A and B are shown apart, each in its own frame.
Chain A
């Protein structure tokens, strides 16, 4: 006998009420329900409670982790911002130092070049003066040489025998007089 045959076999007219069951069924059913609920309370609730607590703890942990992550992220962000600030200041410092070094090198190079140019000018001036002096000296020496030669020739020509004797006699007289 299947379910259809049972339903077909039921006769609604033979039932106590179409909605409310019989008292016995209510009692049995109630007891069965109490037993089920008791069993659920006895055995299912702790597990459910434990599960809920675990869930709550897990959620709380996730919340805490999230908060910690947020805090860490905030800290990291602050660090990064600080680091970025440091990088910027370091960059500025390096750039300033590089500028200062470049300026110093440039100034030193300019000073050195200026000194070299001044030295070259001084040497060139000295060489020009030396060349001028040499030319002057050579010219004076040549004039002196020619003058001396001309003077010697003139003196030789002027020194006749009489003059020679006078020079010798003059020497003798001067030496004899006590130099």
Chain B
């Protein structure tokens, strides 16, 4: 087996028992790794109805066949589990350097099960695996945790850990690796916390194998050339980071502001990538094997505070969504999110939801839109589950429901929406609604097609063709999430680039169409997992505001999302029922025989 390590590490935290299992050829070729492998293991092993925060839930940290090979943007890993926030299958994906070390330690994936009796961390050095006591670091923030674990293991080790938020099982908590990189979404940090697992540290010494080195070099060169020639990956992201989108989205009137009540923010430029570069940027930062280097090492002027970010989604969620245009406050809140281990999108959006309730008078005594100090204070309250933070720690949907206004939660399946108002980008609305993990911009980044013109510009207000393109991007995303590559590669690389790299590394003659089929299989398996748990069309929806209330101003004025016709078309093209459930025959065609059987049984009546 080339590319893959060929082994899966299983750690039973109940018994502190470690075992090695082969990665089968079938697993590798049908699901690749990363997100696909995680979904395969979770679907097969997790009983229906498993409580996400119980010891029975599992976590799969997985790399892919390209991880560690040096293929462009391949320095990533994914974490798959059943999300406590959404109840769906959930994979969260992160860059930095942790993934490469995990692969170099000789494991394609680590499956964590059970719950440690007391706070613990896992130390993996090639085949040597230990479960160690973490009593002394429980309660530490992510930075202190990483420093301490490195001092106890190896200074070159890479650490993925939770902060106080994950320990307290905050449902919007993340896993932080390399201090600043987050497997951010879906409350994966809470699942780790529920297992009493503070961190995983890895250091590997094994070089991944490549089937055809000469061809791999040529394929890598071709991919790098594409990245170096695409306007987004050669100029926009390197120069201004992801926050380059701030002014662009504002200009088209699709920058969600005041909790999606508006699509235009007067202070957008003050929190844009251009302003970040001018005021707080120290240097650019790259993940492993990446030439784009969109990361921003930053420093708050006049304060002894340094860190990375804020990214576009962060500066939006903690900024525009809350009506805040104070870059210093947003940056401080962003640093705190990384230190507590909080998802910045869900945190900002949940605070925005609370601000709407306070501003509208549904709740009293709290901050209103535009209160910059409040975003800093609220991050701390959420991270510590203190005061109102204990309610906000459950995410916006549970919070808004509790106070009688679920319509104020801007979420899908309980996951808070990112920084693109779908009223101005219709296909993005369908992508949010149909994403198997809830509102996510990365499952099918239709903004690339509808706004940025990559690989071509398609009218953002039309719905014609959007179902089909959403499916194509979802399938490709599922495949590349399983290889595991960064979504940003897709601005420049095409399906043939991906297939060529994968073929050169693994020696398996994958074509671009094979990759699309693999992605389709993964999307269907995730959908079958969710269907098994009772998810259906009712969950593939958007907040009522986006469907019924037109944007009041800006260049997307008067628009709402025309979801239903897109959704009908989407289900038809997917081969699913009009209720959004894959048919048994569709699943069988994708060689998902077990899923086919289970779905047939569940929907037999």
The answer on A and B forming one complex is no
Chain A residues proximal to chain B, CB less than 8 Å: none
